[in-house]
Structure 1
């Protein structure tokens, strides 16, 4: 008898928790647009439509293009254009084991290969002067290779920056020396 009573209490508690969880999710549902049959006295249609428009307070997030084989192939083309633009700035041979700065760069290009924006997902705290230099180099090398059917996208590459100011891009690096 006591076991049956405990089971009923557990079921009742589970239902309360479930109902509370569902009630908490209700504010996440989008607000439905007002029905055309509902009329608001003293308002015209435009005012009624804007009165029920949900406002988004979430900041827009940049989406990085998935690193598909086509995007990785384009990354090599873009790197080749940067190498062509700065042949004297390319670090010759294998990069030293302790490179001065490693910077992960997100380059937004349009459908013609023109650089639209340059962002960074990894910036070295000890070398804050490097990312602006990289952004300037990328913008001056614009337009990069035409992406063709790939179209406008964001591709990611890692810049390996030496103390001398020379660099290699991860997509075209010759590797790293052991010493």
Structure 2
């Protein structure tokens, strides 16, 4: 019986060795690589200068004073769009925005606190007007500023900002 087991083991070894894969031929040596030229030296990175305003320096010592400067800046940019006199009692839209302005006077964000969702075209136009008016007076004394403004929008497309509003009938 032990001879039978030895023969079986030998047969299995022969079968297993027949399943082995042939060794791969050796890979050819790699082709010589041409030397790459050294890249030109990079220009030094100029550090940003956040202390230098993009817009004219603001003289405001408080958020309220700064809001008034920003409102005047917007009125200056959109003189033909300002509703003259008292606004009628029923307005097409009223919206309240919060605008983040960095220390250089650039707009970093516009958020809606009260969106006139029935008039999405007004929302888009207000956001565009704010962003196109940048740079604003740079709040160098205040640093980064978030100010709130209420937009009173007439159906004609003219507006007043609550900060400079002449009121309503």
Relative to the length of structure 1, the TM-score reads 0.59
Match of 2:125 in 1: 133
Q: CA RMSD in A?
A: 1.1
1:134 and 1:72 map into 2 onto residues whose CA distance is 20
Structure with more helix by fraction: 1
Unaligned runs of 5+ in 1: 1-68
What's the CA shift for 1:148? 2.0
What's the CA shift for 1:125? 2.8
What's the CA shift for 1:76? 0.5
* 3-state SS of paired residue (2:141): helix
* 3-state SS of paired residue (1:137): helix
What's the CA shift for 1:134? 0.1
Match of 1:121 in 2: 113
Match of 2:32 in 1: none
1:159 and 1:141 map into 2 onto residues whose CA distance is 15
Match of 2:152 in 1: 160
**Which is greater in Rg?**
2
The count of corresponding residues between Structure 1 and Structure 2 is 109
Runs of 4+ in structure 1 deviating by more than 4 angstroms, as ranges, are none
2:141 counterpart of 1:149: yes
Match of 2:62 in 1: 70
1:84 and 1:124 map into 2 onto residues whose CA distance is 24
* 3-state SS of paired residue (1:148): coil
Relative to the length of structure 2, the TM-score reads 0.62
1:131 and 1:89 map into 2 onto residues whose CA distance is 15
